[in-house]
Homo-oligomer: A and B are copies of this chain.
Amino acid sequence: MPPPAVRDITKGRRGGYSPIVPTNRKPRVTIDHVARATGVSRQTVSRAINNKTEIDPETRQRILDAARAMGYRPSRFARGLVRQDVITIGLVIADVLNPFFPEVTAGVLQAAERRGWQVVVYNTGSEYRKELEVIDMLFDQVDVGVAFLFHNDAIAKAAGANLPFILLDTGGRAPALPGVRIDFESGTRQGLEYLISRGHRRIAMLDDEMYLSSEAPNTRRELYLKVMDERGITVDAGWIQPAHNSVEGGAAAMERLLAAHRDVTAVFAYNDMIAIGAQLRARKLGLRVPEDCAFLGFDGLSVGELVEPPLTTLHIDKRRLGEVAVEQAALLLGGTDEGEIPEAVIEPQLIVRAST
A interface residues, Cβ below 8 angstroms from B: 22-26, 28, 68, 71-81, 84, 86, 88, 96-97, 99, 101-103, 105-106, 109-110, 113, 118-123, 139-142, 160, 162-163, 247, 276, 280, 302-303, 305-308, 334-335, 337
A323 to B123, CA, bound (A): 15
B109 pairs with A103, CB closer than 8 A:
no
> What are 14 inter-chain pairs, A to B, with CB distance below 8 A?
A28-B84, A77-B80, A96-B103, A96-B106, A96-B109, A97-B106, A101-B102, A105-B121, A110-B123, A113-B123, A119-B121, A247-B305, A247-B306, A306-B307
Q: A118 contacts B141, CB within 8 Å?
A: yes
Give the complex CA separation of A288 and B306 in angstroms. 17
Choose from B102, B103, B120, B302 the contact partner of A119 (Cβ within 8 Å): B120
CA–CA, A335 to B23, complex, Å?
Answer: 8
A340 CB, min distance to chain B CBs, angstroms: 10
A28: chain B residues within 8 A (beta carbon): 84
Given contacts A120-B120, A141-B86, contact A306 B335 (CB under 8 A): no
- List, in ascending order, chain B residues with CB within 8 A of A102's CB: 96-97, 99, 101-102
Closest CB of chain B to A141's CB: distance in Å?
A: 6
Distance between A320 CB and nearest chain B CB, rounded to angstroms: 14
Chain B residues near A73 (CB-CB < 8 A): 139, 162-163
Smallest distance from the beta carbon of A117 to chain B beta carbons, Å? Answer: 10
The chain B residue with its CB closest to the CB of A164 is: B73
A151 → chain B closest CB, angstroms: 19
Distance (whole angstroms) from the CB of A303 to the closest CB of chain B = 5
Question: Contact at B140–A121, with CB atoms within 8 Å?
Answer: no
Distance, CA A80 to CA B163, complexed state (A): 19
Q: How far is the CB of A44 from chain B (nearest CB, A)?
A: 20
Q: Bound complex: CA of A207 vs CA of B8, how far in Å?
A: 60
B residues within 8 A CB of A276? 306
Determine which of B68, B79, B99, B335 lies in contact with A162 in the assembled complex, contact meaning CB atoms within 8 Å: B68
B81–A81 contact, CB under 8 A? Answer: yes
Q: Which residues of B are found within 8 Å of A305, using beta-carbon distances?
A: 247
| Best-buried of A23, A28, A86, A118 by chain B (most CB within 10 Å) | A118
Whether the Cβ atoms of A76 and B141 lie closer than 8 Å is yes
Q: How far is the CA of A105 from the CA of B72 in the complex (A)?
A: 29
4 closest Cβ pairs, A-B complex:
A308-B308, A77-B80, A77-B81, A24-B335
Known: A26-B335, A306-B306, A335-B23. A162 touches B72 (CB 8 A): yes
Known: A24-B335, A77-B77, A102-B102. 8 other contacts (CB 8 A): A22-B337, A25-B334, A76-B141, A77-B80, A96-B102, A119-B120, A306-B306, A307-B307
Q: Say which residue of B24, B113, B120, B306 sits within 8 Å of A118 (CB atoms).
A: B120
